[in-house]
Chain A
């Protein structure tokens, strides 16, 4: 059974992001387990990079801490395997920048991810123009391959949107604002129109991320799309808590019930 398709049976879905190794490796595994077992439908498991140029201050700081704590690609893959061992059954998508994957070796990385039990990849610095090197390796690894989730932005013109959406696999990650990750106080006016534009070109689920910080915002956007992605708010709330695992449970439950 394809875990991603399965996850989208009850829409809109809740997709938090959390980086492995933050605030330390053991806690991050516990946090992700707690998110998974308390309402998350899919988790973006963050891999850390020294130069995360699409990220705002919250995720920059968290991934920096993770690196200082000694997180590596290898430990991250082992953590995914550990999550599966603990009975986490929802899709886990690895989200990270390209260079650490290249350094690990793309074939080894893709195989390692599959063996650990990951369900796909999000690579923010790998646009359509550059994805073939990666997708050819994922394609050779397994049939059907684990999906590389494609991203769309408000700046993508229609023609581009069409070519990106046409063969999209898994779901589409629609960046809701021109900017880096981080919460915004209000939802941009053009979002409804943007979502409508994307829907014209694809039948895979469309999920919106960047800037969603509260259950209310999630509910509002959830009415328009198939899934909401919550990154910085999740990292900040859980990362600043004395009891991160308890906070993760609450956090997931609140967003889950807002999206019901």
Chain B
């Protein structure tokens, strides 16, 4: 018997080899104990304040709001968290659990490199050994983050199997974990994988939603009408959504990677690709999975490495079915255009992942009234994406 529910409706679960089951049980126990332990919470919250720089600000994007001519837009500034994205919240939380469990080594997967950097950072801070698996396609497009991980003392292992992106990095991280499970923790970076990961990651990211709700009430005097976040595995989205999920009047919108367009078949819109998206099991969890007729996991495409993944966190699958949240997508082109808009109107260079959320704002805000409010989770900053953007926009140095 597990201590916490393992499923979100019909989604989630623990589809892993037996070798890993005891580790999942141990992790769940450590998490449940830690949640009840005031000392753990103090340490975690203390680090979020003194190391990550939380609370991250809420910025009223006045020029963008004005330019779009509709709803007032507020940005939750996870880009200002230490290491430049929301990923650090979860990485620190799990690294503290690792210390509680007495393990000495962490392995992590990374797509955009943000979770790898966050893991390497948490490992350096807490004195843990850190190995990060990263597909060679992602290594090429997120090079600055590879150097950051190395400077932080992590070993980056290039993954050449399969599609050489996030999915394959997760496979390799799991294979390492299966082999070294007695002294190694798998520091999974998104709200996916087998139970208890989706729950743990949501809890450690819920600080985004808790802060944002207070800040909205303080700064705008009201809750937002709409909350928008990009959805890769779904951790920044579930983090911000969790602050508003009980406020039924607040509309929750997740934005997936539309790649070259849904019709092209080259995308990572798990909820959008009617022909390829079916419920399946991948990386230990039951959820919506882009796959072919024979159940082989499909290749995905996105300009943003962090959204370029064939499955989505199981809680999002449940929220989609229950219509508590709605999911849409933005294409590469729309994201790149939103990226530039935010740079010019607000002086903020967003991550390409976050630019997908901004793209949805650009579509929606003009159709809303001026007294309405959109909250966008700006999950990360765009420094890591400069090479990609320069290439995509045909800029010269």
Contacts and interface: CB of A to CB of B under 8 A. Distances in A.
Does more than half of chain B's interface fall in helix, strand or loop, or is it mixed?
mixed
Contacts of A101: 295
B182 interface: yes
Interface string A76-88: 0000000000000
A50 B16 contact: no
B6 A153 contact: no
A125 interface: yes
Interface stretch (A174-182, A193-201, A213-221): A174-182
Interface string A33-59: 000000000000000011111101000
B178 A179 contact: yes
Interface residues of B, number: 39
B13 interface: yes
A156 B18 contact: yes
B168 to A, nearest CB: 8
Given A130-B13, A155-B181, A178 B295 contact: no
Given A100-B295, A155-B22, A129 B178 contact: no
B15 A100 contact: no
Given A54-B178, A127-B21, A155-B182, A103 B161 contact: no
B371 interface: no
Contacts of A157: 22
A164 B17 CA distance: 13
Contacts of A154: 19
B308 to A, nearest CB: 15
B233 to A, nearest CB: 15
A149 B21 CA distance: 17
Interface string A53-68: 1101000100010010
Contacts of B281: 98-99, 102, 125
A99 B297 CA distance: 9
Given A53-B283, A129-B6, A156-B21, A103 B293 contact: yes
Given A51-B297, A102-B279, A180-B175, 15 more contacts: A50-B297, A54-B178, A56-B175, A99-B289, A99-B297, A103-B291, A103-B294, A125-B16, A125-B17, A127-B17, A130-B13, A152-B18, A153-B21, A155-B23, A178-B19
Interface string B55-98: 00000000000000000000000000000000000000000000
B23 A73 contact: no
Contacts of A100: 294-296
Contact of A51 (B2, B162, B181): B162
B296 A67 contact: yes
B193 to A, nearest CB: 11
Interface of A: 49-54, 56, 60, 64, 67, 72-74, 98-104, 124-130, 151-157, 160, 164, 175, 178-180
Closest 7 CB pairs of A and B: A103-B295, A100-B295, A153-B19, A179-B179, A50-B296, A153-B18, A151-B18
Nearest to A48: B296
A54 B175 CA distance: 6
Contact of B17 (A50, A56, A153): A153
Contacts of A126: 15
Interface in B344-391: none
A130 B295 contact: no
A103 B278 contact: yes
Interface string B292-309: 011111000000000000
Contacts of A127: 14-18, 21
B280 interface: yes
Nearest to B174: A53
Contacts of B270: none
Contacts of B178: 53-54, 178-180
Contact of A151 (B17, B162, B171): B17
Contacts of B17: 53-54, 124-125, 127, 151, 153, 175
A155 B297 contact: no
B272 interface: no
B362 to A, nearest CB: 35
B191 to A, nearest CB: 19
B144 interface: no
Interface string B260-289: 000000000000000000111111100001
Nearest to B280: A99
Contacts of A50: 162, 296-297
Nearest to B279: A102
B54 interface: no
Contacts of B18: 127-128, 151-153, 155-156, 164, 175
A104 B295 CA distance: 7
Interface in B1-26: 2, 6, 13-23
Given A126-B15, A127-B14, A130-B15, A99 B174 contact: no
B316 interface: no
Contacts of A152: 18
